[in-house]
Structure 1
Amino acid sequence: MSEVLVSREGAVVTATLNRPARRNAMSAALVAALDALLADLAADPTARVLVLTGAGGHFCAGLDLGEVGDASGDAATRLAAQLARNRRTGERFAALSALPQVVIARIEGSAHAGGLGFVCGADIAIASADARFAAPETRRGLVPAQILPWMVRRMGRAAATRMVLEGRTLTAPEAAAVGLVHQVVADAAALDAAVAASIAEILQGSPLALAETKRLLAALGPVAPAGYAEAGAAAFSACATGPEAKEGILAFQQKRKPSWAR
């Protein structure tokens, strides 16, 4: 079964991240399927809305740490693989944001790490009350390289700074208070209703005007300065292939504190 389920009703496309046993963590197969969908949508003038959501009551738990922590190959091979993966991650968030369609993130459960990139790259983010948001990279010996500029754009630098340095989990009301999401509703049924209401409002706008409005929003300024994406990829790669990431990922998998935690 595909790790991204795609359905369409008229001009509305729904993409469901489909690894519920892993809280929809981003495997190589999942992101390849998502990248293909984003490329198709970028060239599809008949689609007007993309709803991005997750299966099994979760949105996305970020990168699959089993793949991030893969120790196969020599040091140079591992570093090159991490560098390529992180570059593609940044490109994916940019591609999502640049779609001519209005993108709605429908969020339940976990929206962690790279999942926050999807939340912040979307145009509109709506969450159920059980949603939880975290940027726990530093607790794993990693850095929030490619999600950070998107978080800053959505939340502002002060709120994003506290979130990535503390690494703690925010509740849905806390996420709304700092601007990470636009709306919080009671449960999954109310979430479906809120997303449907947002779609109905969006479809009152003309396709060309909506797409041009998104282009104007992008023209207000880049998400990150020139060179940031490469610097972020290099920083992530250096950390991901180092001893602290090995310890942090192992501690996470073993459900214990890493050696540096007090």
Structure 2
Amino acid sequence: MTYETLQVSTGDGICRIVFDRPAAGNAINARMIVEFAAILAQCEGAGPDGVPIAIVVIEGGDDVFCAGGDFDAVAADGAAGDPEPLYDVWRALAEGPFVSIALVRGRANAGGVGFVAACDIVIAEEPARFGLSELLFGLFPACVLPFLVRRVGHQRAHYMTLMTRPVSAADAAASGLVDVLCDDVARELVRHLDRLKHLRKPAIARYKTYMATCRGDLDAGKASALAANRACFDDPAVIAGIRRYVTELKLPWEA
């Protein structure tokens, strides 16, 4: 597939996706959504080198991560189009069988916050800012909010929506929208990959499927917790790894 709005590189179980509409502030248009959906569908399997994709990294520019929806397209067409494909892209980041990581150096606004909130891990630098400006235009971030509420809670998402002003990276970290605040996201990514590369894709997929339904309710969650636990120990690869550790004192990834 030829990409018009993204830069994509894949190898060694990692897919890196970079927003590539700098003149438009990396704004989200219909083509970007189609391209993102196609890439994430491919990440369900293996890369060109045959290694299963276990990690997806998304990033923007130094000044702008993603400015949100493309207002030029809305002004020209008089409509924003169907929101479902973009929601499905965010859901794929949130629930897909890979670890999704957002690297944020600059401004993330509106739908850009949706991409951030949908990811499993968010690493940001101090200049990053996160805002929901929709109410200023008579809109509200209906599709962003389910992902944002999941990360920061109802009231923080509510306040952020009402105030419409960007919050700092430090405030975003305090709220839980950002997991790691650092001076250099590239260096911090390397540290994360050094650990994440040991995770097997089947384990990631099984965990994220379970976590998508886990709500912290001890009674309602009991049946699915027991079923998930039993499924883990029914996996021959899991048992083989445990036996190898007991007999050889070697972790599953060690030669």
- Note whether the superposition's TM-score is higher than 0.5: yes
Aligned residue number for residue 243 of structure 2: none
- Of 171, 175, 185 in structure 2, the residue corresponding to residue 191 of structure 1 is 185
Aligned residue number for residue 32 of structure 2: 30
Question: What TM-score, normalized to structure 2?
Answer: 0.77
Between the two proteins, the alignment pairs up a number of residues equal to: 209
Residue 74 (structure 2) pairs with residue 68 (structure 1): yes
- Of 185, 189, 198 in structure 2, the residue corresponding to residue 204 of structure 1 is 198
Question: Would the aligned equivalents of 1:106 and 1:127 in 2 still touch at CA under 8 Å?
Answer: yes
Aligned residue number for residue 212 of structure 2: 218
* TM-aligned CA distance change 1:87 to 1:201, over 3 Å: same
Larger Rg: 2
Question: Would the aligned equivalents of 1:23 and 1:110 in 2 still touch at CA under 8 Å?
Answer: no
Aligned AA (1:53): E
Question: What TM-score, normalized to structure 1?
Answer: 0.75
In structure 1, C-alpha distance between the alignment counterparts of 2:25 and 2:62, rounded to whole Å: 7
Pick the structure with more helix per residue.
1
Offset of residue 204 of structure 1: 2.0
Moved over 6 A (4+): none
Secondary structure at the residue paired with 1:219?
coil
Q: Identity over the aligned pairs, expressed in percent? A: 32
Offset of residue 214 of structure 1: 1.1
Residue 166 (structure 2) pairs with residue 164 (structure 1): no
Task: Select between 201-210 and 148-157 the one with higher mean Cα deviation.
Answer: 201-210
Aligned AA (1:179): G
* Higher RCO structure, 1 or 2 (CA under 8 Å, sep 6+): 1
Residue 144 (structure 2) pairs with residue 147 (structure 1): yes
In structure 2, C-alpha distance between the alignment counterparts of 1:27 and 1:164, rounded to whole Å: 22
Aligned residue number for residue 59 of structure 1: 65
Residue 5 (structure 2) pairs with residue 3 (structure 1): yes
Aligned residue number for residue 131 of structure 1: 128
Offset of residue 158 of structure 1: 1.1
In structure 1, C-alpha distance between the alignment counterparts of 2:165 and 2:193, rounded to whole Å: 32
Question: Would the aligned equivalents of 2:123 and 2:181 in 1 still touch at CA under 8 Å?
Answer: yes
Q: CA RMSD in A?
A: 1.6
In structure 1, C-alpha distance between the alignment counterparts of 2:62 and 2:26, rounded to whole Å: 8
Offset of residue 68 of structure 1: 2.2
In structure 2, C-alpha distance between the alignment counterparts of 1:59 and 1:201, rounded to whole Å: 25
In structure 1, C-alpha distance between the alignment counterparts of 2:45 and 2:100, rounded to whole Å: 15
Question: Would the aligned equivalents of 1:20 and 1:56 in 2 still touch at CA under 8 Å?
Answer: no
Aligned AA (1:215): T
Superposed CA offset, 1:53-72 (max 9, x none): 11354211111111123345
| Structure 2: runs of 5+ lacking an equivalent | 216-255
- Of 98, 101, 106 in structure 2, the residue corresponding to residue 104 of structure 1 is 101
| Structure 1: runs of 5+ lacking an equivalent | 73-77, 222-262
In structure 1, C-alpha distance between the alignment counterparts of 2:191 and 2:63, rounded to whole Å: 21
